[in-house]
């Protein structure tokens, strides 16, 4: 495979690149470094990274030569960011996606794996959430991710191209920095290690489905390798824990006592979330391999190293 990874210097993208390198595949990265870091790619040659914005059609077009597979991860990420700056969110997630897909089509790309989000579902109506659950996003981010997914899938229908959209639930793991867009694990782990107060929105009984980034990068690879794979797939662990339980695990692992403040719920936050992952298991052969406690032990170690350097 000769892959182009948009957003490859970001948290999940850099882990996808690592998987490509491990499997001996050739790849290049397109990333504006707005939230990504060149150092996330220190395991590979620096000339693979092209500091290009996906909205820059001309510069991007030059990079598509010889590419057969695209992993499209670049995005403006997060509910809060999209509420604060909806135009910016749409420019990247909507218009940027149109540019990436048009260039992929023109270059004769055969396969696209696009990072979608459980944010496309909105408030939960049934649990676990299957791919057939209603998609009624509550935020501009959820809506732009839904556009992104549907737009990419439409190219799979129209052209000679296999397109897989992976709807990630809550992803965590190495390269996820504490200044990330409001993801609970990096924020809580960072604050706990620094002795700062943890703010829990609501009573802490809301649930989330956390999946380790190793599993997410493996699923991306499967989506690009399984013959004839097409369509939208949930990608979570298929389990859920409450935010209070998450804090308990973090306290046990670190041996530290958290200073917790409960505050009112935030707009756009769903109460419960858990993926039905039978489709990705049956059609792509995906299995979850990282248990939450083991994953958090590894993450805390990574974060301690990051804080100390
Ligand atoms: N982390 C999660 O839990 C989660 C959950 C659901 C979906 N996702 C999706 O996964 C993908 C990766 O997210 P992440 O968590 O790694 O976030 P991230 O911010 O670390 O990665 C996004 C990357 O895209 C790059 N980027 C942003 N705008 C760009 C542009 N205009 N041109 C080129 N590059 C640009 C950033 O610099 C960054 O490296 C995103 O599409 C996101 O919506 C993530």
Average pLDDT of span 98-124:
96
Mutational test site, ligand 1, from 28, 35, 96, max ligand atoms within 8 Å of CB = 35
pLDDT-based confidence at residue 232 (cuts at 50, 70, 90)? very high
Give the pLDDT confidence of 275-307 residue by residue, as tens digits. 999 999 999 999 999 999 999 999 999 999 988
For the CA of 176, the closest atom of ligand 1 is: 20
Average pLDDT of span 52-73:
98
Whole-prediction pTM value? 0.96
Q: Does the pLDDT value for residue 180 go beyond 60? A: no
pLDDT-based confidence at residue 19 (cuts at 50, 70, 90)? very high
Ligand 1 centroid distance, CA of 216 (Å): 13
For the CA of 9, the closest atom of ligand 1 is: 39
Average pLDDT of span 161-173:
97
Mutational test site, ligand 1, from 5, 6, 12, max ligand atoms within 8 Å of CB = 12
| pLDDT computed for residue 59 by the predictor | 98
Ligand 1 site: residues with CB under 6 angstroms? 7, 9-13, 30-36, 53-55, 73-77, 92, 96, 115, 117, 145, 168, 170-171, 183
SS (H, E, C) the chain: CEEEEECCCCHHHHHHHHHHHHCCCEEEEECCCCCCCHHHHCCCCHHHEECCCCCCHHHHHHHCCCCCEEEECCCCCCHHHHHHCHHHHHHHHHHHHHHHHHHHHHHCCCEEEEEEEHHHCCCCCCCCECCCCCCCCCCHHHHHHHHHHHHHHHHHHHCCCEEEEEEECEEECCCCCCCCCCCHHHHHHHHHHHCCCEEEECCCCCEECEEEHHHHHHHHHHHHHCCCCCEEEEECCCCCEEHHHHHHHHHHHHCCCCCEEEECCCCCCCCCCCECCHHHHHHHCCCCCCCHHHHHHHHHHHHHHHHHC
Give the pLDDT confidence of 126-140 residue by residue, as tens digits. 999 999 999 999 899
Give the pLDDT confidence of 233-283 residue by residue, as tens digits. 999 999 999 999 999 999 999 999 999 999 999 876 788 999 999 999 999
| pLDDT computed for residue 181 by the predictor | 64
Ligand 1 centroid distance, CA of 77 (Å): 6
**Catalytic: which of 37, 141, 159, 172?**
141
| pLDDT computed for residue 179 by the predictor | 66
For the CA of 96, the closest atom of ligand 1 is: 31
Mutational test site, ligand 1, from 37, 77, 79, max ligand atoms within 8 Å of CB = 77
Averaged pLDDT of the chain:
95
pLDDT-based confidence at residue 178 (cuts at 50, 70, 90)? confident
pLDDT-based confidence at residue 114 (cuts at 50, 70, 90)? very high
- Would you identify the CATH topology of the domain 2-172+210-236? Rossmann fold (3.40.50)
Pairing of strands 162-168, 260-263: unpaired
| pLDDT computed for residue 267 by the predictor | 76
Give the pLDDT confidence of 182-231 residue by residue, as tens digits. 689 999 999 999 999 999 999 999 999 999 999 999 999 999 999 999 99
Q: Does the pLDDT value for residue 41 go beyond 60? A: yes
Ligand 1 centroid distance, CA of 76 (Å): 6
Domain spans of the chain?
A: 2-172+210-236
Write down the residue that tokens 């389990």 correspond to.
239
Ligand 1 centroid distance, CA of 10 (Å): 6
| pLDDT computed for residue 123 by the predictor | 82
Task: Confirm whether 141 is a catalytic residue.
Answer: yes
Ligand 1 centroid distance, CA of 257 (Å): 32
Ligand 1 centroid distance, CA of 7 (Å): 6
């Amino acid at each position: 495979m000769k892959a182009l990874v948009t957003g490859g210097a970001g948290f999940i993208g850099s882990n996808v690149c690592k998987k490509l390198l491990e499997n001996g595949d050739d790849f290049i990265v397109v990333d504006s470094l707005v939230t990504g870091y060149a150092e996330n790619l220190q395991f590979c040659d620096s000339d693979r990274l092209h500091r290009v914005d996906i909205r820059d059609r001309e510069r991007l077009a030059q990079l598509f030569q010889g590419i057969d597979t695209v992993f499209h991860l670049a995005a403006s990420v997060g509910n809060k960011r999209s509420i604060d700056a909806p135009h910016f969110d749409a420019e990247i997630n909507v218009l940027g996606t149109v540019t990436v897909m048009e260039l992929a089509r023109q270059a004769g790309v055969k396969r696209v794996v696009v990072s979608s989000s459980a944010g496309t579902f909105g408030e939960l109506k049934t649990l676990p959430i299957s791919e057939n659950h209603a998609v009624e996003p509550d935020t501009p981010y959820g809506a732009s991710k839904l556009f992104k997914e549907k737009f990419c899938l439409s190219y799979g229908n129209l052209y000679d191209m296999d397109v897989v959209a992976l709807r990630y639930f809550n992803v965590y793991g190495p390269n996820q920095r504490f200044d990330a867009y409001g993801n609970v694990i990096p924020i809580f782990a960072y604050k706990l290690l620094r002795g700062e107060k943890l703010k829990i929105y609501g009573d802490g009984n809301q649930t989330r489905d956390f999946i380790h980034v190793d599993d997410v990068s493996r699923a991306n690879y499967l989506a690009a390798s399984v013959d004839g794979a097409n369509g939208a797939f949930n990608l979570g662990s298929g389990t859920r824990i409450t935010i209070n339980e998450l804090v308990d695990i973090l306290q046990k692992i670190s041996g530290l006592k958290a200073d917790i403040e409960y505050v009112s719920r935030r707009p756009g936050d769903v109460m419960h979330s858990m993926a039905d992952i039978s489709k990705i298991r049956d059609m792509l052969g995906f299995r979850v391999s990282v248990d939450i406690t083991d994953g958090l032990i590894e993450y805390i170690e990574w974060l301690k190293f990051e804080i100390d350097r």
